[in-house]
Amino acid sequence: MALVTLVRHGQASFGAEDYDQLSKLGDEQARVLAAMVHAREEKIDCIVHGTLKRHVQSLNAFKSGISLRPTRIADACWNEFDHRDVLRQFVLAYPEFTDDVLSQQAERIFPAFAKAVARWQQRSNDSNYVESWQQFSDRVNQAWLNVSELAKNHQRVWVFTSGGPISLSVLQSLASGPEQLMQLNRRLANTGLTRFMYEQGQPQLLSLNEHGHLTGKYQNMLSYI
């Protein structure tokens, strides 16, 4: 039995050419998280991370603030789905949403993005996507299989990943349908923690979106993008 903690990356660069670049706030969020872990003397035996830039940068900022030196493993199975491709395919099919997608305004982009993800999940145009919904789901399942191997020797595993894999993991643990993915994803705080007890080959949800480190004097650092 192992405790697996999924960490959403720090704030990325929304609206910039390179979204994958961690913002200054994202770096600070990871350091505040580290300070909380250090103060609690929370143990971490192994850290897994996706291979996207924002995953690695979040982890590096986090590790700079803790005295622990756990095993570190890169696993691309924890990467986010290609949101730009999902939007691209949606706009090709529904060009009337082009201005919304290009607006760089969250209140216009996110409703269109939710529609784009719903279309992707319908699987009627799988061959058009860089990664189909089924392929993404299978990849996240493989990520958990990889964690199950680590859990044989590590009791406390942390994973730095993104909102998509976290949301899908939660929904699968609760036997909920994928149509709730974006509703849940929008509510995941940057550097928030979602914890699972991994036993008998299955992740059981323990807590969702812990972000106590971004309250009180740090509440101005809370973000969701």
Same domain? For 34 and 47 the reply is yes
Same domain? For 143 and 38 the reply is yes
Residue 183, number of CB atoms within 10 A of its CB: 10
Give the mean pLDDT of 76-104: 94
CA–CA distance, 7 with 130 (Å, rounded to integer): 25
Same domain? For 71 and 107 the reply is no
Residue-range definition of the domain harbouring residue 7: 2-79+134-221
Contact (CB, 8 A) for 2 and 151: yes
Mean pLDDT is lowest, of 98-107, 133-142, 165-174, 190-199, for 98-107
**pLDDT for res 106:** 82
Contact (CB, 8 A) for 49 and 56: yes
Closest of 87, 31, 80, 43 to residue 185, by C-alpha? 80
**pLDDT for res 164:** 98
**pLDDT for res 147:** 96
**pLDDT for res 59:** 97
Same domain? For 26 and 107 the reply is no
**pLDDT for res 46:** 96
CATH number of the domain that 177 lies in?
3.40.50.1240
Tell me the per-residue pLDDT of 194-211, one tens digit each, with 9 for 90 and over: 999 988 778 999 999 999
Same domain? For 148 and 203 the reply is yes
CA pseudo-torsion sign 201, 205, 209, 211? negative
**pLDDT for res 67:** 87
Tell me the per-residue pLDDT of 15-58, one tens digit each, with 9 for 90 and over: 667 788 999 999 999 999 999 999 999 999 999 999 999 999 99
What element of type H or E holds 195? strand 193-199
CA–CA distance, 172 with 175 (Å, rounded to integer): 5
How many domains, the chain? 2
Judge residue 64's burial from the number of C-beta atoms within 10 Å of its C-beta, 0-12 exposed, 13-18 middle, 19 or more buried. Answer: exposed
Q: Two tokens at 93? A: 């099919």
Same domain? For 107 and 175 the reply is no
Q: What is the mean pLDDT of the chain?
A: 94
pLDDT tier for residue 149 given thresholds of 50, 70 and 90: very high
**pLDDT for res 18:** 72
Same domain? For 47 and 25 the reply is yes
Same domain? For 209 and 124 the reply is no
On the CB side of 188, how many CA atoms lie within 13 Å of its CA?
Answer: 30
Contact (CB, 8 A) for 10 and 191: yes
Give the mean pLDDT of 218-223: 97
pTM summary value: 0.95
Same domain? For 141 and 188 the reply is yes
CA–CA distance, 213 with 172 (Å, rounded to integer): 27
Chosen domain end from 96, 130, 164: 130
